[in-house]
Structure 1
Amino acid sequence: MPRIVTYNVHSCIGTDRRHAPERIAEVLAALEPDIVALQELDVGRARSGGVHQAELIAQRLGMSMLFHPAVTVLEEQYGDAILSTLPCRLVRASPLPGPARGLFLEPRGALWAEISVAGRPLQVINTHLGLLGAERLLQSHALLGPDWLGHPNCQPPLILAGDFNAPSASATFRRLRRHLHEAQGSQPGRRLPTFPSRMPIMALDHLFYRGPVAVERVSVVRTKLTRLASDHLPLVMDFQVGDLPDPAEADHPTASGAAPVLSG
């Protein structure tokens, strides 16, 4: 049964303020994931010793890696990655729309990979949305549009993972739930929070899906190590993919005027 983890690693700087990508790798190794969506990774940045954090973590786990820099300043980069033990190819990696002029906010982006699960393609998109509500609505609208989830090549089964900075009461979360199923919503009980890791009170990290994806188990991993390794907790989903059509598929957006796929 495949397992996916979404995890904001906070530049591998723990709640003790120590830079330790090996702790992130240790957290993930214990979870034995097949697919990992990581946010807030440094590449070549002075504050993190100039290392390629996604590459280092992937090597320790024996996984392939795709990285997209949402921010590039000279030789330094900061962004998101998808790691996989399964056959994986890059489909698209590009920025998401930002706020109106005059607001200086961190650029955001998304990364789309096609991953072979049990011999069939699974579309996985990893993202990290902005801090302002209006910004997140703009970015979620783009993700639902023809360049991403509405693209003709983004056929179910698919998973949208990441740090959405959007609790369940937010307009962004409600918009995405109108078009996609959500992992924690498929399980009984309350939605488990993922932030802040020492005393979590908000569910900001989510796994959305569409199509024949059966959620077997979803959990938030709260241990001594995860409370230390990052300011977010990892969200884990065990799932299966099948051939049955999604009854809610008719309510989901379709692509029109889609942009060309950026392949890698």
Structure 2
Amino acid sequence: MQRRIRFLTYNVHSCFGTDRKLDPARIAAVINECRPDIIALQEVDVGRVRSGGMDQAHMIATHLRMEAQFHPALHLEDEKYGDAVVTALPMRLVKAAVLPSLGEPRGALWVEIDLTVVKLQVIVTHLGLRGSDRARQAAVLLGPGWLGGIAQGEPVVLAGDLNAIARSAAYKLVARQLKDAQFEVNAKRRPTFPSRLPLLRLDHVFIGEGIKVERCEVHSSALARVASDHLPIVADLVLEPLEARRADSQPAYGGGRAGMARR
């Protein structure tokens, strides 16, 4: 049995819009325009003075009537800043850790989401501003502690603001192992940054085996263009259980013409 989900990734810019207004409810409203099942968020503030000490991961999740897992890439006393996954589906934290960086601290968050027919591995990250940092961070995420440790055939989504265009080293590293969801369905790839006049495709949804993309679009409503400096990407994904994929790969009726003769 196949399972369809709608996945969204969004750099929320600490919920500060291009009009400089701080408004987590507006971010939640943009997300709600897309009606996603699973949401990957970057640049989320928790307890930071600049954003009024609010827990933005919890606030956004509450507005959407969902639950959140948050990981701070930056943690200074009570101030935190990082990535989150928000969903109403059963979710289990697998791993949350910092990534190597000579610049601003970066991290990644890995959760397993139970879709009944299959368990989806979701990794959300926000890579650095330096090319050398991004390449190291991408290599770590592809290594044994992260994607390299996931059993072959298990469905995986890696999403977030990679700060990387298609010709960058970090993007190319990831694209060798995973498929870019925009490339699967769109003849023209849409940029995501800056939101008012997008020029760069920095935000990405990558998928692994057993996942098909029915639709992948950059959401550019009037509200989205002002709520953050990035636009969200929304992707409709179809997942098939590993057992079904194994069965489909077997020759029908025992294989070959001999099998067909026994019909």
Structure 1 and Structure 2 fold alike (TM over 0.5)? yes
The one-character-per-residue Cα deviations of 1:100-152 (angstroms, maximum 9, x if unpaired) are xxxxx210000000001243100000000000111100000000001100014
**Structure exhibiting the larger radius of gyration computed from Cα positions:** 2
Other-structure match for 1:251: none
Q: Residues of 2 paired with 1:90 and 1:192: CA distance?
A: 31
Q: Residues of 2 paired with 1:192 and 1:29: CA distance?
A: 21
Q: Which runs of 5+ in 1 are unaligned?
A: 100-104, 248-264
Asked if 1:28 corresponds to 2:63, the answer is no
Aligned residues: 242
Other-structure match for 2:220: 222
The one-character-per-residue Cα deviations of 1:203-260 (angstroms, maximum 9, x if unpaired) are 000000111001010000111100100000000000110136889xxxxxxxxxxxxx
Other-structure match for 1:168: 166
Other-structure match for 1:257: none
Normalising by the residue count of structure 2, what TM-score does the alignment of the two structures yield?
Answer: 0.89
Percent identity of equivalent pairs: 51
- 1:84-99 equivalences under 5 Å are 84-99=87-102
Classify the secondary structure of the residue corresponding to 1:207.
Answer: strand
Amino acid of the residue matched to residue 183 of structure 1?
A: A
- 1:11-90 equivalences under 5 Å are 11-90=14-93
Work out which of the residue numbers 4, 7, 13 in structure 1 matches 2:7: 4
The one-character-per-residue Cα deviations of 1:166-204 (angstroms, maximum 9, x if unpaired) are 011111111111111110010131210000000001100
The one-character-per-residue Cα deviations of 1:16-70 (angstroms, maximum 9, x if unpaired) are 0010011001011121110000000111111111100000000110111100000
Q: Does the CA contact (< 8 Å) of 2:117 and 2:241 recur in 1?
A: no
Q: Does the CA contact (< 8 Å) of 1:9 and 1:232 recur in 2?
A: yes
Classify the secondary structure of the residue corresponding to 2:63.
Answer: helix
Q: Residues of 2 paired with 1:131 and 1:9: CA distance?
A: 17
Larger helix percent? 2
- 1:148-187 equivalences under 5 Å are 148-152=146-150, 156-187=154-185
Q: Which runs of 5+ in 2 are unaligned?
A: 247-263
Q: Residues of 2 paired with 1:88 and 1:113: CA distance?
A: 7
Other-structure match for 1:126: 124
Q: Residues of 2 paired with 1:198 and 1:80: CA distance?
A: 23
